Structure 1
């Protein structure tokens, strides 16, 4: 997409959020884009409400699948908030459900004020992931197993073949790693058959230390669209040995297990496959290319053998 096309997509998303909010009897006189990447996040002034509108989707994603993810996110975030976890919560001014408007699926959230040091994706200490995992472990709802891996990733791996950023050798390697990992991570039964009775629990699904808002009341967890069941190592994948060690130190006084080195290795490998396959999304989100380029180069330079 060209910059003009992306700007138009953002404009249409804002218009849809304005219309949907007005139809829900929210007072809206102005919209302000707070953030845009995979989703457009829009402040709806003067009401203390933020609309979140996904605009980048893996190939083959249906409207129903988008809304299923949103429903899981709304339910988990609402549950966490009710249980005292500092989390962005669904706006109490509207029903906690996605709204479809002009082709967009929109969710509405309570505004969280930020502090001057807030920066999107700026990492928090690994200890906060341990605190979140402790809270999530009690979540009673049903969740899919490793949704980011078992959902759209197969289609993304296939679509990545068309990326000009990957050589034929890269594509062959990506397919080989996907086919090695997929049977082992397909479901909880297959996973535990390979790794034994390892604890699997609700997890955030997308690196919780990078998905926090710095607010006057402290760190606030956000972005639960990939929430699922899985090993906690998935939420730590790619953070490195120091972060994993800090996490393990943090869980010493919590009712959580330490990380398993085998799972750290397996989840790191699965995340690398996910990152490389995400090149198929560059046409929808060109800024991804710059962010993914060093990860792809590291992947090329790493040992091709998967010890799982």
Structure 2
């Protein structure tokens, strides 16, 4: 979020906690993207604050977390001192989560793969209505193909992203050997190293698709420790993931700070992935 919106989001997160009886005199920004994550003190609660247009996504995230907590998944849990729901404060959707003190050590690729495997096992134990990866691609395509939604996207880049999203989505659908529930974006920023072990966060991206789509968001070495994964499919999914990321950044309604940088960087990452591994 940009600075003007960030200030309002911080106050929304803090005010929500106070209204629920939590002591929240201070708020420290842990992460700021299209949503903001705050550590509230001294109650030691994590607040996830999103623009109200993402209310449905926030509710879905809380539902996923509650389902997974019942099957001992390696995920962060909703704050137990309040009702497990999303609270609306002004123009923002606020959810409250347990805070986990981070362990200052890098997660080894084998441990990363083990956490993802356990997460996938837990996901197989729950019944959840989640979109398919191709549904998410279709959403990205709508943003790219509609000039009113992405008016600043140059024509050449619009054609490139549209072609890439369409072709890779079709190829991945054809080559996948089986779909299952996924985290959706288990990149290093969404895996916390805690005293309880690695825990996944940002569960609103849960979707259905091949495990390779999840592995494409992890460091490349992780795939080598995940039994049965298809390296070629991981590479295709990595290019698709960056194409989707780039599409979101060109939305007129995008809330990511420093969008000019990430618009250019997203396109560069897509081209790099295609150059390294080929579009098909």
TM-score class, shorter: 0.7 to 0.9
The reply on whether 1:26 has 2:22 as its aligned counterpart is yes
Residues 29, 167 of structure 1: alpha-carbon distance in 2 compared, 3 angstrom cutoff: closer
For 2:246, which of 247, 252, 276 is the aligned residue?
A: 276
For 1:154, which of 129, 141, 151 is the aligned residue?
A: 141
The answer (yes or no) to whether the contact 1:44–1:51 under 8 Å persists in 2 is yes
Deviations 1:108-161 (A, max 9, x none): 111112234479xx9973332222212212122222222772463133323585
The reply on whether 1:264 has 2:234 as its aligned counterpart is yes
For 1:112, which of 100, 108, 120 is the aligned residue?
A: 100
The answer (yes or no) to whether the contact 1:126–1:209 under 8 Å persists in 2 is no
Q: Which runs of 5+ in 2 are unaligned?
A: none
The alignment yields a C-alpha RMSD, in angstroms, of 3.3
Deviations 1:244-295 (A, max 9, x none): 22222xxxxxxxxx22456435423421321331331597334354456455
Match of 1:222 in 2: 201
Residues 305, 30 of structure 1: alpha-carbon distance in 2 compared, 3 angstrom cutoff: closer
1:124-135 to structure 2, matched below 5 A, reads: 125-135=112-122
Give 1:20 deviation, angstroms: 1.9
Match of 2:256 in 1: 285
The reply on whether 1:300 has 2:279 as its aligned counterpart is no
**Counterpart of 1:247 in 2: which secondary structure?**
coil
Give 1:39 deviation, angstroms: 1.7
The answer (yes or no) to whether the contact 1:88–1:222 under 8 Å persists in 2 is yes
**TM-score normalized with structure 1 length:** 0.75
**TM-score normalized with structure 2 length:** 0.81
Residues 93, 118 of structure 1: alpha-carbon distance in 2 compared, 3 angstrom cutoff: farther
Match of 2:60 in 1: 72
**Counterpart of 1:115 in 2: which secondary structure?**
coil
Q: Which runs of 5+ in 1 are unaligned?
A: 56-61, 186-190, 249-257
Match of 2:4 in 1: 8
The answer (yes or no) to whether the contact 2:179–2:209 under 8 Å persists in 1 is yes
**Counterpart of 1:138 in 2: which secondary structure?**
coil
Match of 1:81 in 2: 69
**Counterpart of 1:126 in 2: which secondary structure?**
helix
Residues 210, 109 of structure 1: alpha-carbon distance in 2 compared, 3 angstrom cutoff: same
**Counterpart of 2:226 in 1: which secondary structure?**
helix
The answer (yes or no) to whether the contact 2:24–2:43 under 8 Å persists in 1 is yes
Q: Which one is further off, 287-296 or 74-83?
A: 287-296
Alpha-carbon distance in structure 2 between the residues aligned to 1:241 and 1:292 = 23
The answer (yes or no) to whether the contact 1:124–1:212 under 8 Å persists in 2 is no
**Counterpart of 1:213 in 2: which secondary structure?**
strand
